[in-house]
A and B are shown apart, each in its own frame.
Chain A
Amino acid sequence: MAHQHSVAPAVAPAAAPAIPAAPGALARFLDGDVWHSFKNSPVAIIAAVIATLCVVCALFANWLAPHNPLDLATLELMDARLPPAWEAEGKAKYLLGTDDQGRDILSALMYGSRISLFVGLASVVVSVVIGVGLGLLSGFVGGRVDAFIMRVCDVMLSFPSILIALLIDGVGRAMFPNAHDTLAFTVLIIAISLTGWVQYARTVRGSTLVERQKEYVQAARVIGVSPARIMRRHVLPNVLGPVLVLATIHVATAIITEATLSFLGVGVPPTSPSLGTLIRVGQDFLFSGEWWITIFPGLVLIMIALSVNLLGDWLRDALNPRLR
């Protein structure tokens, strides 16, 4: 055989028919595989509902919570250590019981969730910004900058996140021994976000490298379009899918990290207790039988983390064409 005789015949383009108007973005989304996969996955729907519920309770805690646990004036020490309302000594006023200071557990949960969610989300946002930014830079500029950033990523990845967060927190504590709340929160958020940015940097760098080789990017560079613009308009949209999946799962991780740090006593300041703080406080009462002080915050934490994780899992499967 001297030549490879391919069987596919040459194809002549057919006459172009009249092109109908392209459907809008919302219509395309609703028709698309992602929404279809969502509708068909009871797990995803339940997870979304639970997550939304928690977020709403947290956001509107001021209006929804029956009591204000942070306002010392409203606390009645006589009502301390009451079990949940459905038990014998419980009172209907305090649906989930009270702690040793008379604070209503249900309200504390709502306010606590708010703190937890706030820190978690803020950390993820900062993480995404740092990670995506460094990833774009690394992929686009290449060379020494890229090598350096990747080295840093490697080193950071080999350390467990909790350690990094603890270290930064510890250093912050040592540097600012009498920090007020805002500073404490900032240090905490920075600590948590520095533990998670690497995954975004790597993913974005990978996509940037791929896009950079493509001809339309090279053409744009030849014309003189600035690299920043290319990165923003072409690379970024391609990368958002995986970043979204990572970020969703990361929210759960960030919330858990914050809860762990607060549980260990090195997280949020004691004046703004998060779910982790509540659990820590409650652990002391386990042996005296007052389980509700620690268990309910724990359950809420589990619900939030689980539902966000499930959403993230579903999103990953929905966006992955290979798994279908």
Chain B
Amino acid sequence: MLAFILRRLIQAMIVMVTVAFIAFMLFQYVGDPVTNLLGQDATPQQREALRRDLGLDQPFFVQFAKFAVNAAQGEFGLSLRQGRKVSVLIAERFPATLELATVAALLGLLLGIPLGVYAALKRGSFMSQVVMTGSLLGVSLPNFLIGILLILVFAVQLKWLPSFGRGDVVSFGNLSTGLFTIDGLKHLVLPAFTLSLFPMTLVLRLVRSEMLEVLRTDYIKFARARGLPDRSVYFRHALKNTLVPVITIAGLQLGAIIAFAIVTETVFQWPGMGLLFIQAVQFADIPVMAAYLCLIALIFVTINLVVDLLYFAVDPRLRIERSAAGH
């Protein structure tokens, strides 16, 4: 197992280095690195000094190494659009996205798994058809459209919930959260629900199809043949086997949620990293783009690693060494 972890760590490093490389290429060759670091308003002398400092006359790999070292410390220079340090900008916005993504992920799982199980067990019934059609809608409807529709209904027509921004937040040092204020929660409802729909429908469909597959297996047939009650067959056996592959995919969804947050944050003007990134793309603000890229890659890689370890914890076939088999 140790070998497995080591291998995954090495793979993770390779991915990070590749991503850093791409970010580096962005930095150096798309747009001007000096401008990227100093901002638009630097004097020619400052530029010259920086050019020498940066060692832009140095060989390629030296420059890359410097960039990588900087990146590892979170140093990406100044935002072209705002003139402030990229690292500060991102740190400011990160808690908002984290809060949104986490709540959305939890919602997605808490609703998606039971609905998926229901749709599998009551296959063919009217309610399960409704659920499945609903899930199809969830996959077909673009995220932003759902957000707009929700705004139309709940904010414009019914006026129950606010339609943009984050509301009142409570801060703990660098982290701020709106979970502890009514106003903050109200602001969180619509964006979190919108964001949760995609992973929810994915989990729902996955759980349903996995469960249907599992219900067709020989061991379920054998369990039935032994006279085990339905409750045991479905929830002790089938559900356990269903959830194992679901865990991996659901875990990976967390990364997708953070990325999809870009759209949700735009619709609801939620002050998170995603909104920052979009503004960076519109403006061709390379340092912010590069920083976001590296951060996202780090998050993804970490999630992948954790999910792999989770798999180990859950599936005994991977865990236990094969003991000597007798006849």
State A299–B289 Cα separation when bound (angstroms).
33
Min C-beta distance of B31 to chain A, whole Å: 5
**Interface presence of B280 (CB below 8 A):** yes
Please judge, given known A-B contacts A294-B148, A306-B137, whether A265 and B142 are in contact too, CB under 8 Å.
no
Min C-beta distance of B255 to chain A, whole Å: 7
A266, B263: Cβ atoms under 8 Å? no
**Interface presence of A46 (CB below 8 A):** no
In the complex, chain A residues whose CB is within 8 Å of the CB of B148: 279, 283, 286, 294, 298
In the complex, chain B residues whose CB is within 8 Å of the CB of A264: 144, 262-263, 266, 278, 281
In the complex, chain B residues whose CB is within 8 Å of the CB of A266: 278, 281-282
State A169–B262 Cα separation when bound (angstroms).
15
Contact with B along A160-179 (1 / 0, CB 8 A): 10110011011101110100
Complex interface: stretch among B45-53, B90-98, B149-157, B237-245: B149-157
* In the complex, chain B residues 1-39 whose Cβ is within 8 Å of any chain A Cβ: 15, 18, 26, 30-31
B15, A301: Cβ atoms under 8 Å? no
In the complex, chain A residues whose CB is within 8 Å of the CB of B306: none
Please judge, given known A-B contacts A162-B259, A170-B281, A266-B281, whether A301 and B142 are in contact too, CB under 8 Å.
yes
Min C-beta distance of A81 to chain B, whole Å: 16
State A166–B151 Cα separation when bound (angstroms).
25
State A169–B148 Cα separation when bound (angstroms).
24
**Interface presence of B293 (CB below 8 A):** yes
We find that the number of chain A residues with CB closer than 8 angstroms to chain B is 39
**Interface presence of B140 (CB below 8 A):** yes
In the complex, chain B residues whose CB is within 8 Å of the CB of A301: 142, 145
Q: Which of B152, B163, B256 contacts A160 (CB under 8 A)?
A: B256
State A313–B208 Cα separation when bound (angstroms).
15
Closest chain B residue, CB of each to CB of A322: B216
**Interface presence of A193 (CB below 8 A):** no
**Interface presence of A263 (CB below 8 A):** yes
Q: Which of A166, A171, A302, A313 contacts B30 (CB under 8 A)?
A: A171
In the complex, chain B residues whose CB is within 8 Å of the CB of A298: 145, 148-149
State A309–B136 Cα separation when bound (angstroms).
8
Contact with A along B281-312 (1 / 0, CB 8 A): 11010100100010010001000100000000
State A306–B133 Cα separation when bound (angstroms).
10
Please judge, given known A-B contacts A171-B30, A266-B278, whether A158 and B252 are in contact too, CB under 8 Å.
yes
A256, B284: Cβ atoms under 8 Å? no
B144, A279: Cβ atoms under 8 Å? yes
B142, A169: Cβ atoms under 8 Å? no
Please judge, given known A-B contacts A162-B260, A305-B141, whether A174 and B286 are in contact too, CB under 8 Å.
yes
* In the complex, chain A residues 265-324 whose Cβ is within 8 Å of any chain B Cβ: 265-266, 279, 283, 286-287, 289, 291, 294-295, 298, 301-302, 305-306, 309-310, 313
**Interface presence of B277 (CB below 8 A):** yes
Please judge, given known A-B contacts A162-B262, A163-B259, whether A305 and B142 are in contact too, CB under 8 Å.
yes
Q: Which of B18, B260, B284, B293 contacts A173 (CB under 8 A)?
A: B284
B142, A256: Cβ atoms under 8 Å? yes
State A266–B289 Cα separation when bound (angstroms).
14
22 A-B pairs whose Cβ atoms sit less than 8 Å apart in the complex: A155-B15, A160-B259, A163-B262, A166-B262, A166-B281, A175-B30, A259-B145, A263-B144, A266-B282, A279-B148, A283-B148, A283-B267, A287-B156, A289-B156, A291-B152, A294-B148, A295-B149, A295-B152, A302-B137, A306-B136, A306-B137, A309-B136
